[in-house]
Structure 1
Amino acid sequence: MPFTRTTEQSSKYDHLEKMPVAELLQNINNEDKTVPFAIEKALPQIETLVEQVVFKLKEGGKLFYIGAGTSGRLGIVDASECPPTFGVPFDLVIGLIAGGDAAIRKAVEFAEDDKEQAWKDLSEYKINSNDVVIGIAASGTTPYVIGGLEKCNQNDITTGCITCNTGSPLSSVAQYPIEVVTGPEFVTGSSRMKAGTAQKLVLNMISTATMIQLGHVKGNKMVDMQLSNHKLVDRGIRMIMDEISVSQEVATTLLNEHKNVRKAIEAYANR
């Protein structure tokens, strides 16, 4: 069966340049509304991959995201938010982008076309069979990502992917593929739109569900979050107040003493 990149098919809208702003926004919003329903169809695939990630991380492994362009940037964003949100080490979840850190802000020409570079990038982190690598590519055809997963498979490293086409070369390489079929974009081929939104939502699911399973959430609160600004300190105080029913003054004292919401709550409970 031939592979069709629906993310590259022509938009069902035309003459965009003639649309007033209100119509542009309404049509973009109409397309965006379809993304959660596309993700819903992929929930069993997401569940299977998350279970693998949780298992590997409990065994001491790490989670890597690899991608190019928008996909690479989304992986980096998700990875970079895990330490402040869940209090995990900065190198537990790692995002890598074709072209290196310079490509985060500015596209690096042809970086995504190198099938060998992803493995070189991963090797700098001493990747091994305890780890999981998730390739992110809306098209499912990015050589950087496909080549990286192929080498991981050869080295007994668990692989998954997030793509927005069915039956892509990337899905055939990944052991645990996630296919969220978002269809043609509002602007033809601009996969930073619906496809990018879908990838971001799936990444949210993967990292959040994993961290909850690893015990970094208590009730519904981020009790291991880093207290890196006044807003988060205030949030931590309110968490303590809600959890153990103490005054703001007592909660503040506990947090100042223990520097961590979980430790503050546990210290109070163990008095």
Structure 2
Amino acid sequence: MAGTDWTCSHATMHAWEFLDYEPSLPVSEKSNPLTRDIDRASANNIVRMLQACDTQIFQEDSEDTYQRLSSERVVETIMEVAKRVELILKDPQDSLVVLSGCGTSGRLAFLIVTGFNKALRELNQTSIYSYIIAGGDRALLSSQEAPEDDPKQGMLTLKKVCEGKKRVLFIGISCGLSAPFVAGQLDFCMQHPEVYTPVLVGFNPTHQARDDPMPGCTFTFRSVVQRMQELSKSQKAFLINPAVGPEAISGSSRMKGGSSTKILLELVLSAAHAATFTNMPVTYKGILQHMEAYKQTLDITYAQTAEIAALLEAAGQSLRCGRRVCYLGWGSVAILGLIDASECNPTFGADFEDVRGFISGGYREMNNNEGPLSSLGSDFRVTHKDFLHLVLPSLNDQDTVLLLYTHSDNIREVAKLAHRAREKTSNIHAVYHQVDGAAAEQQDDIDRLCSSSLKITWASSPASGSLLHMWELSTKLLLNAVSTGAHILKGKIYQNDMIDVQVTNSKLYRRATRLLQDAFLLFLCSHCEEVMVSFIADSWQKKKKKSCQATAAHAGRQAGSRHKNTLGETLTTSEGEIMSQHRALETLSIYKLPTPELNQSQSVTHTHLTAVSRFSHQSH
């Protein structure tokens, strides 16, 4: 695998679509057949696998099982929601469009809202957009996943944001149709139809919406969806939920789920703006043309596979050495750097210092609801000055610095910061977006300072859509590849599962329990939960000031295969310590839980004990 070019077959590309493929799991939680061996892949092949997964976003209907992004019903719903936004743009008095989500969904809601409000200000128009993120603005930069489980808080936050408004279009984002925070908001909207029109954006079929009870509620997410389906018949509610395929890393909705969220919401809002300010009506053909522009963005970005792989390799080497990766950015592409960095801690169990983002202009440039958050601590100091003061003095050649900018940014400022970073490390890389034919002043100076420069060139006027939106999506894809691939190289992924993730809310708890049960196939679910709860309790005692980590649950997943009834290779602690299968069984005995009996085909072999994550990669 590591030494050969990876290819995928048509059958593998579509395998997840069949009803008998991991039937107990929703699409957003399934494993992707394309990436089953991503833990053993070379940097170049990791990028190829991620490209194949992202391509699934735009796959056309091939089976009757799932509706896709370009399905007729999805496109028509996008059009109807765009027309609702258009009405508010033309008559904004006492009206509001609210985008709300948790984690990555909330961060992208922030990015999109601030971008479109900025566009309105440039046209001397009233800002009509507002965002909500579970946990407040601190969740823009750090993991605050527990608030996702509070439907009442979601409702109260929405009520406060919309106080005094007479017409609200509410767009709730939940990739897995599972977040109680968003469910509470959607329920509130349906209780007040005279003001609110609810829209749900997600990427599972409605019958896969989460059906677990929520604290203090008589409804579940699925029952909310069912009520919305009924209201959608009279266009009093809307659902946009195409299937885009399983994530490259199982359940990591920051990747395809995040990209698809960005695409869908920008399709809606861009169509509404074009209809309002350029007299271009919202049409079916126009939506499809705009989708094609996003599809081309994937092609343009992944045409740089070798260059992305080199960045991934550099970042991975830094993490393996216990060093750091720093994103230094300008404008909205810098915000994508902040978002990507914020996701590494909950996804990979990374230390906050492992991957950090910094933005020129800091909170003034971000324009977030709560303003500067620097008083919350060094983790929230995000300006370039903060980088120079807090990080630069300790940099060395084992650290990776990545510059993120476009030709329209202040290139002189980019060069100046590159010079400062070069005083401490030669491991500097540039990623910049340039319109075809435009020459960025001082770019040659930056190229000389950097180990590599990845230039992505764009047509001066895309066929459809905003060039800035394409730059942003391209940057997101690239950074997701770099941070995910770097952690794969560090050994944080087994097969295509996260094995060092923080169990900080009910969604992650369910996932961890399932993975542990999957690893030890003969266990009852209650036994799996008991193991995990014990680990959570122990971790809480040891790290009272940190989020509880129950990576043993995910390590249990690491110890099993989806396709073999063998016990597995390892458990991994939150610090990345490797423990053998014998240690896993020993742990079970400590908690007085029954251990599965091994038959001949399940015997522990030397291969089983050593073919672990990066260990198996290094053996190639």
CA distance in 2, matches of 1:172, 1:207: 26
Equivalence map 1:4-19=2 (5 Å): 4-12=25-33, 13-19=35-41
Change beyond 3 A, Cα 1:145–1:89: farther
How far is the alpha carbon of 1:90 from its aligned partner? 7.1
1:193 alignment partner, one of 255, 265, 268: 255
SS of 2:70's partner is helix
2:275 alignment partner, one of 204, 213, 223: 213
CA distance in 1, matches of 2:176, 2:252: 11
CA distance in 2, matches of 1:131, 1:124: 13
How far is the alpha carbon of 1:89 from its aligned partner? 5.7
Change beyond 3 A, Cα 1:119–1:27: same
Q: Is this contact kept in 1: 2:153–2:181, CA < 8 A?
A: yes
CA RMSD of aligned residues (A): 2.5
SS of 2:87's partner is helix
Answer yes or no: is 1:145 the counterpart of 2:207: no
Amino acid at match of 1:209: A
Higher relative contact order (CA 8 A, sep 6+): 1
SS of 1:134's partner is strand
The superposition leaves residues 46-67 of structure 1 with CA deviations (integer Å, 9 ceiling, x where unpaired) of 1122122222443432100010
How far is the alpha carbon of 1:128 from its aligned partner? 3.8
Q: What's the counterpart of residue 51 of structure 1?
A: 83
Change beyond 3 A, Cα 1:48–1:107: same
Amino acid at match of 2:42: P
Answer yes or no: is 1:107 the counterpart of 2:107: no
Structure 2, unmatched stretches of 5+, are 1-22, 60-67, 210-221, 229-236, 281-364, 366-406, 410-620
The superposition leaves residues 217-238 of structure 1 with CA deviations (integer Å, 9 ceiling, x where unpaired) of 478xxxxxxxx9x959xxxxxx
1:40 alignment partner, one of 70, 73, 77: 70
SS of 1:23's partner is helix
TM normalised by structure 2 equals: 0.34
Q: What's the counterpart of residue 258 of structure 1?
A: none
Change beyond 3 A, Cα 1:118–1:55: same
Equivalence map 1:76-87=2 (5 Å): 76-87=110-121
Q: What's the counterpart of residue 172 of structure 1?
A: 226
More displaced 10-residue stretch of structure 1: 127-136 or 164-173: 164-173
Change beyond 3 A, Cα 1:143–1:90: farther
Greater Cα radius of gyration, structure 1 or 2: 2
Q: What's the counterpart of residue 564 of structure 2?
A: none
Structure 1, unmatched stretches of 5+, are 220-227, 233-271
Q: What's the counterpart of residue 252 of structure 1?
A: none
SS of 2:271's partner is helix
Answer yes or no: is 1:28 the counterpart of 2:50: yes
Answer yes or no: is 1:159 the counterpart of 2:159: no
TM normalised by structure 1 equals: 0.74
SS of 2:98's partner is strand
Give the length in aligned residue pairs.
Answer: 221
Q: Is this contact kept in 1: 2:38–2:49, CA < 8 A?
A: no
CA distance in 1, matches of 2:70, 2:243: 10
Identity across matched positions, percent: 24
Q: Is this contact kept in 1: 2:86–2:276, CA < 8 A?
A: yes
The superposition leaves residues 123-168 of structure 1 with CA deviations (integer Å, 9 ceiling, x where unpaired) of 2231644110000010011100011011011111101011000113
Q: What's the counterpart of residue 71 of structure 1?
A: 105
2:245 alignment partner, one of 183, 203, 213: 183
How far is the alpha carbon of 1:85 from its aligned partner? 2.3
Answer yes or no: is 1:92 the counterpart of 2:128: yes
CA distance in 2, matches of 1:231, 1:22: 30
Amino acid at match of 1:172: Q
Change beyond 3 A, Cα 1:179–1:158: same
Change beyond 3 A, Cα 1:3–1:147: farther
